[in-house]
Each structure stands twice: as C-alpha cells, then as structure tokens.
Amino acid sequence: MQESSKEWNISFAGCGFLMAYYCGVYSCLFERAPFLLKGVKKICGASSGALMVVLKSKKISEDTLMARKGTLGAVHPSFDLLKIVRNFLNHDLPEDAHLLASGRLFVSLTRVSDGTNVLVSEFDSKEDLIQALICSCFYPLYFATLFKVFSRFQRYVDGALSDNMPFSGLRNTITISPFSGESDISPYGSPFYFHDIYYNNVSIHINFINAHRVVIAFFPPEPEVLAEMCQNGYKDAFLFLKENGE
C-alpha cells in the first residue's frame, strides 16, 4: 500500500482472547507500513479490539496464561480479568493518555438502558479513558460479577453487543478481524455453501475453524496456539499490504 494524502481509519473487531492475532497484525504494520499507524485519523474498536491500541503482546500472553490457571480458568469466581486489565492500564498508560486518545480513539460501548451503541472519543481524564475501555470489555454473565459497569452516570457493557466494528461501512476504513470473513485483514477460510453471517457489522464465514475461534475467544488456549495466532496475524497483514501495493 502506498502512502496517500487521503484520510483513513482502522477498526478492530472485539474478539476476547483471539486478540493475540492483533499483536501479529500490529507488528507487521509497524515494521512494514508505519505510515498507516502514524497517519490514521480514527482508531476504532469494540471490547478487546479497543484495547489493542494500548496493550502489548507480552502482557496479553502473561494474562492469558493466568487465565488458564484452575479448572474454570477465566470464568472462575476468583479470577478477575478486568481487574488485571485495569491495573495494567493504570500502571502503563501515561498521565496524559486521555489527551492523546481524544478525537483519535473511538471506543464502542453498549448502553444498558436501551441497547443502543455509543461511540466515545472524548475523554476527560486518564481514569475516564480507562473506564471506557473496561466498559467496552464487560461481557454480561461471562465475568464472575453480575453487576454492570458504570461510566458517566450511565450503565454500559461490551460494545461488541451493538457494534463490533465501528466505521466498517466507510470505504476508507481498514477492517481487521481474527475471524475468517470479508474484513480487509483476516484469516483465509472458505465458508460452507458460500455463506457468512454478520455479527454486529463483522463478517464471519460459517465454518468449523470459526466455530473453534469463538470458543477460544472466551476460553484461552495453550501458549503455542496463541503464538501461532500471532504469526498468522503478521502473515495476513503482510498479504494485505502486498495486495495493496506495498
């Protein structure tokens, strides 16, 4: 892909523990087409896709290994994945993170009161930014607590429940998903009967491997699987760049 004066967006679909795929995608773009990341107008995401802009692959691996501990892993009452993510964000984000993110990062949220999607792009403080990211990752009934996450005097839950790929309908948006489908960067996989489904704006081919990926999204796999997923993300991003003239 050649550099262009046109504006473009990048949108990451929510995908739980499949986020390791994004680490490979990001590494490829950073190494081979850094202008895509530096010049992007809007970085959009739902759930774990929204975390991609601030989390590092090493930390993802560490937290995934922790999530595998015990019989129930990430859904065990004693394991609080959101707390781990919050602690990491508090520790590693700079104090002016909200200023750097405002107007550029768009976080997808689902309002509890009416199920409406809300895109948040302005943040009053670092804590406000962290709260938005945590809200976007709060998948009801998956976590041990049944209490809803609060933000800005409203109750919000996982953004993937209403819009799992913000701005995907715009032609200048590069869509990225770890599910094989019609996204710009995604794994190759032929659908059964040439059919696919759209889960809140994310194209997903109907096949066995995608069904397996849905399971992995909620239950973290072995480290070897995560490593392979990361490598595949790099390869798919490289193929995208090659097909678009890089």
Instruction: Please identify every stretch of the chain with a pLDDT value under 70, giving residue numbers as ranges.
Output: 1-5, 54-80, 141-153, 191-194, 246
So what's the pLDDT on residue 221? 83
pLDDT score of 78: 46
Question: What digits encode the pLDDT tens for the residues 137-189?
Answer: 888 866 655 455 666 668 898 999 999 999 999 999 999 999 999 999 999 87
Q: What is the pLDDT of residue 52?
A: 81
Instruction: For 37-161, list the strands marked E by DSSP.
Output: 42-46, 105-111, 117-120, 149-151, 154-158
If one counts every other C-beta atom within 10 angstroms of the C-beta of residue 154, the result is 13
Q: Catalytic annotation on 168?
A: no
Tokens of 79: 């394991």
Q: What is the pLDDT of residue 201?
A: 94
pLDDT of residue 58: 42
Catalytic residue among 57, 136, 158, 236: 158
Model pLDDT, residue 148: 55
Q: Would you call 163 a catalytic residue per the annotation?
A: no
The residues that bridge with 197 in the sheet, in sequence order, are: 204
The two tokens of residue 216 are 């992995």
